[in-house]
Amino acid sequence: MKILYDTAMPYANAFFSGLGDANAFELGSLNSEALVDVDALFVRSTTKVTAELLQKANKLQFVATATAGFNHIDVDYLERSGITWYAAGGCNAVAVAEYVIGAILQLAHEDNFNPFDKKVAIIGAGNVGTALSQILDGLQLNYVLCDPPLQEAGDRRSFVDLTDALQADIICLHTPLTSKGKHPTLHMLGKEQLLTLSAHQYVINACRGEVIDNDALLNCYSLGQHLNVVLDVWENEPFINHQLIPYVRLATAHIAGHTLEGKARGTSMVYDAFCKHLNLQSQLKLEQFLPRFENNPMVNSSNSSFNQLFQLVKYMYDIKKDDGIFRARMAKSKAFAAIRKHYPIRREFSAAEVTFCTEEADETNKKNVAKIAASIGFKIAN
Ligand X SMILES: NC(=O)C1=CN([C@@H]2O[C@H](COP(=O)(O)OP(=O)(O)OC[C@H]3O[C@@H](n4cnc5c(N)ncnc54)[C@H](O)[C@@H]3O)[C@@H](O)[C@H]2O)C=CC1
- Is 235 marked active-site? no
From 72, 109, 237, 329, the catalytic residue: 237
- Is 329 marked active-site? no
d(CA 374, CA 278) in angstroms, rounded, equals: 39
Minimum Å gap between C-beta 279 and ligand LXYGBJRG is 27
Among 49, 168, 206, 312, binds ligand X (CB under 6 A): 206
Would you count residue 68 as binding ligand X (CB under 6 A)?
yes
d(CA 3, CA 61) in angstroms, rounded, equals: 11
Among 35, 67, 326, 366, binds ligand LXYGBJRG (CB under 6 A): 67
What is the footprint of ligand LXYGBJRG within residues 41-60 (CB under 6 A)?
44-46
Minimum Å gap between C-beta 227 and ligand X is 20
- Measured from the CB atom, is 329 or 367 closer to ligand LXYGBJRG? 329
Among 64, 68, 94, 335, binds ligand LXYGBJRG (CB under 6 A): 68
Give the one entry of ligand X, ligand LXYGBJRG, none that residue 212 binds, where binding means its C-beta sits below a cut-off of 5 to 8 angstroms depending on kind: none
Nearest 10 degrees: Cα torsion 130, 136, 138, 139: 170
Minimum Å gap between C-beta 184 and ligand X is 7
d(CA 176, CA 181) in angstroms, rounded, equals: 12
Q: Is 45 part of any known ligand binding site?
A: yes
- Compute how many other C-beta atoms are within 10 angstroms of the C-beta atom of residue 324: 12
- Is 208 marked active-site? yes
What is the footprint of ligand X within residues 120-149 (CB under 6 A)?
123-129, 146-149
d(CA 292, CA 358) in angstroms, rounded, equals: 26
- Compute how many other C-beta atoms are within 10 angstroms of the C-beta atom of residue 287: 7
Would you count residue 93 as binding ligand LXYGBJRG (CB under 6 A)?
no
Minimum Å gap between C-beta 8 and ligand LXYGBJRG is 6
Would you count residue 232 as binding ligand X (CB under 6 A)?
yes
Would you count residue 69 as binding ligand LXYGBJRG (CB under 6 A)?
yes
Binding site for ligand LXYGBJRG (CB under 6 A): 8, 44-46, 67-69, 92, 257
Binding site for ligand X (CB under 6 A): 68-69, 89-90, 92-93, 96, 123-129, 146-150, 174-177, 183, 185, 188, 206-208, 232-233, 254, 256-257
Query: What amino acid positions are annotated as catalytic residues?
Result: 208, 237, 254
Sequence ranges of the binding site for substrate: 45, 67
